[in-house]
Copies of this chain bind each other. A is one copy, B any other.
Amino acid sequence: MMEHLVRKTAIKLADGRDLFYFDDSEPYVSGRATRRCDDPRPLPPRFESGDARGTSGPIMRRDPLTGDWIPMAAHRMNRTFLPPADANPLGPARPGATYQDGEIPDTDYDVVVFENRFPSLLEVPGVSNAETHPDGQDLFCERPANGRCEVVCFGPDLHTNLVSMGPQRMQTVIAAWADRTAALSALPQIKQVFVFENHGEDIGVTLSHPHGQIYAYPYLTPKTAAMLRQARALGQKTGDPEVNLIASVRDAELQAGTRVVAENAHWVLYVPVAARWPIEFHLVPRRIVPDFAALDAAQREALADIYLKMMIVANHFHREPARGEDAQPGAYLPVNYISAWHQAPLSPADGRAQLGLHCEFFSFLRAPGKLKYLAGSESGMGAWISDTTPEKIATRARQAARECVELDAFAGLDYPTTFR
């Protein structure tokens, strides 16, 4: 195993936001161009006077019917940042570009992470985080949405993606995820850190530059709360209050075997027994860890391989022919997807030992050009209905993996990962 070296450089953007370069290749650009951050930006101050709290920071309210916290990002509607139509605001700065042209001050980068300019979650200095009761009603609760939203750019080139960038860059992205998870986990108000990627115009992604996001929530999300309830129930059933739910489900899937798609020395990939999406994979480590920061080097190297292979298989799942002038014969349209990296909640009291890092990767695409829509049952009741079965998804995924081998679609991914 080669050690994967990454150089991190932290800078402050002109409006005070953090930006971090994660460089994996010479020349390391990030140390040279930070001078540009001494320039003042023609940007409004970050913390405007606005609502009753004297800030424009986002607030969140507790839904009295469900108990869910709902951040309200109304301030995001007044976005003052409108880059030119031909600009790529997530790309490296072009020579001579101003800060209005994009977010990244330097003219090259490998991987970069920065605070979202219009975040749904934001800690505003000096603001009390005490709960208040809107309209003086005991049933209503409001607090600052004092989390943090960061953007992760996976590489400098617009017309690339994680797959085309390859396993070395993937390891740099993993290193960035781990670094930011550790840093965000250290903020006192944060309850959990969520790493995710939305990919595809047809699910509302407006920026095609390869990027993901990190949300550090100041509350437990409904999905994590549900997993913790299941973990506690399993603890009661087994008599082991520290039982790990993720490991238990992974072991059951391995014993069943019927939906396992791929394995390597450190990771297992399967379609979960109760998959709810047209394509859904869960990627779980053999050695359970709470979060990215706790992955060792061997796990990270193995993850880079199986994660990219999973995405290649997903892109071959429906074999939707690529369109447009540049489309090669036999090339497929990349599938839209959401890649959701669950990490354990931060507080031991919340159940940190019982959950752990795993990826839930899913696509809305039922068939070429056909999206699964979230209708009344899903949107109104939170009650998902699957249009397929997990076994059908697994069968097609295994077949797609064999097709990928024949097409040499895994070229450059040399780590030994076995498909069923």
Q: Which of A101-109, A244-252, A306-314 contacts B (4 or more CB under 8 A)?
A: A244-252
- How many chain copies does the complex carry? 2
Nearest CB of chain B from residue A243's CB, rounded to whole Å:
11
What residues of B have a CB within 8 angstroms of the CB of A128 in the complex?
none
Q: Does A402 make an interface contact (CB < 8 A)?
A: no
Stretch touching chain B among A218-226, A318-326, A327-335: A218-226
Q: How far is the CB of A172 from chain B (nearest CB, A)?
A: 21
Asked if B227 contacts A65 (CB within 8 A), the reply is: yes
Nearest CB of chain B from residue A396's CB, rounded to whole Å: 12
Interface string of A65-87 (1 = CB under 8 A from B): 11111111110110000000000
- The reply to whether A64 and B226 contact each other, CB–CB distance below 8 Å, is no
User: Which residues in B have their C-beta under 8 angstroms from that of A221?
Assistant: 377, 381-383
Complex CA–CA separation, A16 to B127 (angstroms): 64
- The contact of A74 among B71, B245, B392, by CB within 8 Å, is B392
- Are A381 and B222 in contact, CB atoms less than 8 angstroms apart? yes
User: Given contacts A71-B385, A230-B64, A386-B71, is CB(A376)–CB(B135) below 8 Å?
Assistant: no
- Per-residue CB proximity of A186-204 to B under 8 Å, as 1/0? 0000000010111000011
Say which one of A19-27, A271-279, A403-411 lies at the interface with B.
Answer: A271-279
CB distance from A306 to the nearest CB of B (A): 19
- Max chain B C-beta neighbours (<10 A), residue from A64, A65, A389: A65
The reply to whether the CB of A97 lies closer than 8 angstroms to some CB of chain B is no
- Cα–Cα, bound, A126→B185 (Å): 54
Interchain Cβ contacts under 8 Å between A and B, 29 examples: A61-B274, A64-B230, A64-B248, A64-B273, A66-B223, A67-B229, A67-B230, A68-B274, A69-B383, A70-B385, A71-B385, A71-B386, A72-B388, A74-B392, A77-B388, A120-B377, A120-B385, A135-B255, A135-B273, A140-B256, A194-B376, A197-B376, A204-B371, A215-B381, A222-B226, A223-B381, A226-B382, A339-B376, A362-B379
Residues of A within 8 A of B (CB): 61-74, 76-77, 120, 134-140, 194, 196-198, 203-205, 213, 215, 217, 221-224, 226-227, 229-230, 233-234, 245-246, 248-249, 252, 255-258, 272-276, 338-340, 360, 362, 371-377, 379-390, 392
